[in-house]
Structure 1
Amino acid sequence: MKNHLPPGQFETESWPVLHQGDVYDFNEETWNFRLFGEVKEEIVLSFKEVMSLPKTISSIDMHCVTTWSKFATTFEGIKLIEFLKYVELPEDVNYLKIYGYYNGDRFGYSANLPLDKLLGDDALFVYRWKDHAHEWQDISPKHGYPLRFIPPASFYLWKGSKWVSGIQFMKRDEAGFWEELGYSMTANPFKEERYR
């Protein structure tokens, strides 16, 4: 359904900037992306290796727990399933955490998600965007440059880790940064799953 506004949300055409802590200062030489946890072998990818992966362009609606929704922003990025090609997972791995920078720690932020909901074109690690009012441009440092996860519209946007640094694969669900502070584990905006 086009522009289906979840309960308690209002539509905006801007892309508000909201984040905890300071902004990550990107350095290509020190940046890397870890695939770890319940994997046969941990993998570490350089920035060049990540950016050489196949790209996807997809329009994704964003719903923030602070009550704004932005429809049909077009992103270019890398689907989560491209990273799955690098790891061998046990059959009972059903969850993951996507990590990102927080106050000096490249793995200080995390968001938990169910793996089976992230296998489509609407689960992207993005680096540029456009909408009806903006031409293609890199995401800004405040929005998560050089790489930010944008989750499907069936999750509130706090599940979209900024300044991403890796994926931990898990057999059991575990709370991430905001979930440990009382936010919903499942975060479905259409069910208003804001808090536990």
Structure 2
Amino acid sequence: MKFIKTDLKDAYLIELEPRGDDRGFFARSMCRDEFSEVALESNFVQQNTSVSAHRGTLRGMHFQRAPFGEDKLVRCISGAIVDVIVDIRKESPTYLQHQMFELTSRNRLQLYVPKGFAHSFMTLEDNVEVNYLVTTPYTPASEDGLRYDDEELGIVWPLPVTVISEKDASWPLLKERQESLY
């Protein structure tokens, strides 16, 4: 695997290194030793799958509050998404900055999202499937999120939002929050 630093502190884009022959190819998509070499958490305890039927579906901007923060390894296995992460670690030099990544079943890129980041994605096609590994089990009481359209974040989505949950559409704006994000 190739670990590519992003503009945001501690987040990585991961490129597979396929080895192929007449049958197709083989590649590792996660290796504890290789993750350790670049100081990434690899103790994944849960794998999640998200299926979205319609282009323009937006999921997120989700995170779990400390101490239940989770590292994620995200991969689009069918179709294409734009994945957006926001650094919400107050002490971080990239606090409240975001970056956008195109993850597709064709480019096979993965995104490593560290604890203390809000995570969201928008489908670029119909019938998209995303798999992600997490290092902490889902804890409903610690669930939180940011508004996808918060002007303070300045995220420019590539498509109009066609489908979004009521919960994701109604997270509070940053200026409405009294408590620290993470």
**Normalized against structure 1, the TM-score is what?**
0.27
Structure holding more helix per residue: 1
**Normalized against structure 2, the TM-score is what?**
0.28
- Bigger relative CO (Cα 8 Å, ≥ 6 apart): 2
